[in-house]
Structure 1
Amino acid sequence: MTTTDGTDTKRADLPLTVRDPDCGPSIETHAIGTEAAGVVASTLKALAEPLRLRMLSFLATAPGGEACVCDLAELTDVSQPTVSHHLKVLRDVGVLASERRGTWVWYRITPGYKAAISTLLESFAPAALDALGPHPHLTGLEDADGALDRLARELTMAHSDLGADVILRTVRESYTALARSAKVSAHLLTLTERFALQRLADLTRDASRGDSTGGAEHAGPPQVLFVCVANAGRSQLAAALVRHYAGDRVVVRSAGSTPAADVHPAVRPELAALGADEPFPKPLTDDAVRAADVVITMGCGDVCPILPGKRYEDWLVGDPALASPAGVAAIRDELDTHVRALLVDLLPDLGLPTP
């Protein structure tokens, strides 16, 4: 090295203990400890996944700082087991806490991580957040405002007991929920009307049940709700089979924890053979669960609600999504056996042979 007077000095001539007087304390004094570094690295590794960051962003901005697992599942098109895996990863490192409260499993960011998550989202991704613009789930809603208002006014005439505000909210929520997975919006308003009508009927049924003397059960026909992940195969087939056998003697609904954009093509011929109306995937709602007497689940994980006093069954039936035509037919036959057993129990006078 060269000294200030221009002479060369070999490094070996300098004492090893000499340090720049302006240099601060040794690195070892201020460096993060090995154990702490390991904990931080594990947490950052858990965060380094796009879907998990979206979940955290959703929770950080949610009213009350919490959301149910059904809301988190709607952020993505992946399967329910995959959603559960990501949530478990965030729970395992302590970023999220979960609690089954009444109907759903609810998630929130743990207090110790709230400030850190806010800093992460606001400091590392401001450009990306600004580029998002309007909430993507509401894309197209601005152009449909007038149509939704007109639909709400029409439905208010038939459901005035629920109140105009409830009906308008139900219509808008139904539109938004269907728009999340819709690939083509040409028939979205028509589907919104069908979905909203179902939801309003469920709200009316639940209200009349709650008003019954002594909490007696609703006097109308039994109501069955079929729930799977995508509402594109199994639950649609099961609902169609119930309608085929029982007609209007059973009110039947189907829903998905993460509804697909459309019904599986291989399932459509089976539904047509059963006389099903034009089917479309629908999201799972609280009002459908509350109005149901029987809830049948088929692989939808922990997003399926648990309400006291409800009859629950879980049918282990294959998913027709990737099945061959012969496989879909086998799944239909298996569902047929389950459905006939259910109807023999619900409507003994229906005259169906015991499976």
Structure 2
Amino acid sequence: MTETPTTVETCAPAEAHAIGLDVATTVANTLKALADPLRLRMLSAIATDPRGESCVCDLAELADVSQPTISHHLKVLKDTGLLSSQRRGTWVYYRLVPTRQAAVTALLDGFASTVAADPAEDRPESPREVDSHVIDRLAEELADEYDTLSRDLVVTMVRESYAGLLRSAKIARHLVPLTERFARQRLTDLTRDRGTGVPQVLFVCVQNAGRSQLAAALVNQMADGKVVARSAGSRPAPDVHPHVRSLLTQIEGEDAATERFPKPLTDDAVRAADVVITMGCGDVCPIIPGVRYEDWAVGDPALASAEGVEAIRDDIAARVRTLLDSLTTH
């Protein structure tokens, strides 16, 4: 009887299969830097931003922490080689380093998705489900319409407008028309020669859901076309406050009031304005030479009763009259 030879398994040296020490050290340091929930969320926000980059002011919305804390976390991520940064005007923008993009995508889409127990059927409609081709087509259409501006500039501005509204939008189906309206206003701002024509006033508060919306509506009602007012927010809310929306309906009518929506503050809006009035949002506006700045200490309708909101409206109306006198007289 012939015996079958027994196969003897031999141990292979671990060194032959393991990554090198230098690479392991680099990866370990990177993972150590990412071992913080806020940093992971920052990285995710930057990686998924339709613009391909995120402003430090946008990232501050991820947590209720101070600006220096946000900057510290971004510096840690940058020191690992995952991010690069560029200062433009008053803000710093962060983007993924191209050579690390695939690794970050694998981490976020591969690993994170396996531990997120969030069934698709239980999720509310997400603005990110809007077909990106629709936004691209809108950008091309506006580039054809605003042919006096650089095509690349128009396309970039449309995508930035979409990204800005995306952060606060509640449902996807409204996002495209809002993007078109917001982008059109920004493109108009670019072509406006400040100091000529009808004076333009920009009201800025934090959420653009209350007092700034109310002030803009009162100016447009009382000025009779001699002054134009707009509003924006440093951290826009998903919608206008219900108490304020009822007042807007009284001022503008149902159709006009429903057209109002919170908009993010942009440098373009500030540059196009003759007067910028802040309302409880601090020093968030970039300082543009030639622009007149005021700060109105006005109550927040979101914290007031229905009667309190009406008192705030009366306070704003009195200030608006004084403002209009100064603008129309001169």
Aligned to 1:145: 133
1:162 aligned counterpart, secondary structure: coil
1:173 pairs with 2:150: no
Note the aligned Cα RMSD (angstroms): 4.0
Instruction: Tell me the CA shift for residue 176 of structure 1.
Output: 2.1
Alpha carbons of structure 1 residues 186 and 92: separation in structure 2 relative to 1, 3 Å: closer
Query: Which residue in the other structure is 1:104 paired with?
Result: 90
Structure 1 residue identity aligned to 2:112: A
Q: Which amino acid aligns with 2:293?
A: Y
Listed one character per residue, the Cα deviations across residues 83-105 of structure 1 (whole Å, up to 9, x for unaligned) are xx4223466899689xxx88525
Query: Where do 1:184-333 residues align within 5 Å?
Result: 184-205=171-192, 209=193, 217-275=194-252, 277=256, 278-333=259-314
In the alignment, the residues of structure 2 paired with residue 234 and residue 70 of structure 1 have an alpha-carbon distance, to the nearest angstrom, of 22
Structure 2 residue 66 is matched with structure 1 residue 86? yes
For 2:284 and 2:111, the matched residues in 1 are separated by: 33
Count of paired positions: 271
Separation in 1, partners of 2:115, 2:270: 37
Query: What percentage of residue pairs aligned between the two structures are identical?
Result: 56
In structure 2, the CA distance between the partners of 1:279 and 1:91, relative to structure 1 (3 Å rule), is: closer
Cα distance between partner residues in 1 of 2:224 and 2:114: 51
Kindly state the Cα deviation for residue 138 of structure 1 after the two structures are TM-superposed: 7.3
| Preserved contact between residue 259 and residue 283 of structure 1 (Cα < 8 Å) | yes
Contact map agreement 2:128 2:172 (CA 8 A) in 1: no
CA separation of 1:56 and 1:165: change in aligned 2, threshold 3 A: closer
Distance 1:154 1:48 in 2: 44
Within the alignment, does 1:160 sit opposite 2:144 as a pair? no
Task: Please name the residue that 1:127 is paired with.
Answer: 111
User: Within 1, Cα distance between the matches of 2:321 and 2:303?
Assistant: 25
Alignment of 1:65-76 (within 5 A): 68-73=55-60, 75-76=61-62
TM-score normalised according to structure 1 size: 0.63
**Structure possessing the higher radius of gyration over alpha carbons:** 1
Q: How many angstroms does 1:157 deviate by?
A: 4.5
8 Å contact 1:102–1:306 — kept in the other structure?
no
Q: CA deviation at 1:61?
A: 11
| Separation (CA, whole Å) in 2 of partners of 1:61 and 1:185 | 16
Give yes or no for contact 1:105–1:302 (8 Å, CA) kept in 2. Answer: no
Structure 2: how far apart are the matches of 1:321 and 1:57?
Answer: 31
Q: Take 2:276 and 2:264, find their aligned partners in 1: how far apart are those partners?
A: 15
Q: Distance in 1 between matches of 2:170 and 2:46?
A: 26
**Residue 172 of structure 1: CA displacement?**
2.1
Alignment of 1:51-66 (within 5 A): 51=38, 54-55=41-42
Secondary structure at 2:225 match in 1? helix
1:333 Cα offset (Å): 0.9
Where structure 1 has 5 or more consecutive residues not aligned to the other structure, the ranges are 1-43, 109-121, 210-216, 350-355
Provide closer, same or farther for how the CA distance between residues 94 and 155 of structure 1 changes in structure 2, counting only shifts above 3 A: closer
> Structure 1: which amino acid aligns with 2:267?
D
When the two structures are superposed, what TM-score results if normalisation uses the length of structure 2?
A: 0.67
**Residues 43-68 of structure 1: per-residue CA shift (max 9 Å, x gap):** x9xx9974466447768999xxx965
